[in-house]
Amino acid sequence: MSDLERLDRFLRTDPRDVGCDEATSILHVYVDLVAAGEDAAGRYPGVAAHLLACGPCSEDFAGLLLAVTSG
Amino acid sequence: MECARLPAKGLDEESAGWLRRLGADGGERQAAERELHARLIRIALAEVRRRSAGTPVAGQELDDVAHQAAGDAMLAILRKLGDFRGESRFITWAYRFVILEVSAKLGRHYWRGTPVALDAGQWERLPDRFGIDPARHAEAAGVLAEVRRVVDEELTAHQRRVFVAIVVDGTPLDALAAEMGLRRNAIYKVIFDARRKIRRALVANGYLEEPGLERR
Most confident of B103-107, B130-134, B166-170: B103-107
Would you call the peptide bond into B211 cis, given omega within 30 degrees of 0 as the criterion? yes
Per-residue pLDDT reduced to its tens digit, B11-22: 899 999 999 999
> Is B115 inside a domain boundary?
no
* Cross-chain CB nearest to A15 (options B89, B95, B214): B214
Q: What angle do CA B144, B150, B153 make, to 5 degrees?
A: 135
Residue B30 sits in the same domain as residue B90: yes
> Is B147 inside a domain boundary?
yes
Q: A56, B216: Cβ pair inside 8 Å?
A: no
Distance CA B24, CA B100 (A): 27
User: What value does the mean pLDDT take over residues B110-137?
Assistant: 72
Distance CA B37, CA B70 (A): 7
Residue B88: pLDDT band (50, 70, 90) is: very high
pTM over 0.95: no
Q: B130, A7: Cβ pair inside 8 Å?
A: yes
pLDDT value at B84 more than 80:
yes
Chain B partners within 8 Å of A25 (Cβ): 4
The whole-number pLDDT of residue B122 equals 76
The whole-number pLDDT of residue B15 equals 96
Per-residue pLDDT reduced to its tens digit, B182-202: 999 999 999 999 999 999 999
Q: Which of B87, B109, B131 is the last residue of a domain?
A: B109
The whole-number pLDDT of residue B216 equals 38
Mean pLDDT, consecutive 10-residue segments, chain A of 71 residues?
A: 81 96 97 98 98 97 97 65
> Is B130 inside a domain boundary?
yes
Q: Please state the separation of Cα B53 from the chain's center in Å.
A: 15
Distance CA A39, CA A45 (A): 10
Q: Which of B109, B142, B160 is the last residue of a domain?
A: B109
> Is B2 inside a domain boundary?
no
CB contacts < 8 Å between A and B, how many? 132
Residue B81 sits in the same domain as residue B145: no
Q: Considering its fold, how many domains does chain B have in total?
A: 2
Question: What is the 3 state secondary structure string of chain B?
Answer: CCCCCCCCCCCCHHHHHHHHHHCCCHHHHHHHHHHHHHHHHHHHHHHHHHCHHHCCCCHHHHHHHHHHHHHHHHHHHHHCHHHCCCCCCHHHHHHHHHHHHHHHHHHHHCCCCCCCCCCCCCHHHHHHHCCCCHHHHHHHHHHHHHHHHHHHHCCCHHHHHHHHHHHHCCCCHHHHHHHHCCCHHHHHHHHHHHHHHHHHHHHHCCCCCCCCCCCC
The whole-number pLDDT of residue B2 equals 79
pLDDT value at B212 more than 60:
no
Any A CB within 8 A of B72 CB: no
Give the dihedral sign, CA B118/B44/A56/B184.
Answer: negative
Residue % of chain B over a pLDDT of 70: 90
Q: Which residue has the higher pLDDT, B209 or A66?
A: A66
pLDDT value at B142 more than 90:
no
The whole-number pLDDT of residue B10 equals 79
> Is B210 inside a domain boundary?
no
Provide the mean pLDDT of chain B.
Answer: 89
The whole-number pLDDT of residue B197 equals 95
C-alpha neighbours within 13 Å on the C-beta side of residue A25: 14
Q: What is the CATH number of the domain that holds B22?
A: 1.10.1740
Q: Which of B109, B144, B167 is the last residue of a domain?
A: B109
The whole-number pLDDT of residue B215 equals 41
Any A CB within 8 A of B11 CB: no
Residue B113: pLDDT band (50, 70, 90) is: low
Residue from B48, B92, B136 whose CB has the most chain A CBs within 10 Å, to mutate: B92
Shortest distance between the Cα of A51 and any Cα of chain B, in A, equals 12
User: What value does the mean pLDDT take over residues B120-139?
Assistant: 76
Per-residue pLDDT reduced to its tens digit, B148-168: 999 999 999 999 999 999 998
Distance CA B165, CA B173 (A): 9
Domain boundaries, given as residue ranges, for chain A? 15-69
Residue B138 sits in the same domain as residue B191: yes
Any A CB within 8 A of B17 CB: no
User: What value does the mean pLDDT take over residues B80-88?
Assistant: 94
> Is B216 inside a domain boundary?
no
Is residue A41 within 8 A of residue A48, CB to CB? The reply is: yes
Dihedral angle over CA of B63, B66, B67, B73, nearest 10 = 180
Instruction: Write out the residue range of the structural domain in which residue B168 sits.
Output: 123-204
User: How high is the ipTM of this complex?
Assistant: 0.94
Per-residue pLDDT reduced to its tens digit, B24-57: 989 999 999 999 999 999 999 999 999 999 888 8
Q: What is the CATH number of the domain that holds B146?
A: 1.10.10
- Which of B12-48 are b and which e, b meaning 16 or more Cβ less than 10 Å from the residue's Cβ? eeebeebbebbeeeeeeeeebeeebbebbbbbbbbbb
Residue from A59, A66, A69 whose CB has the most chain B CBs within 10 Å, to mutate: A59
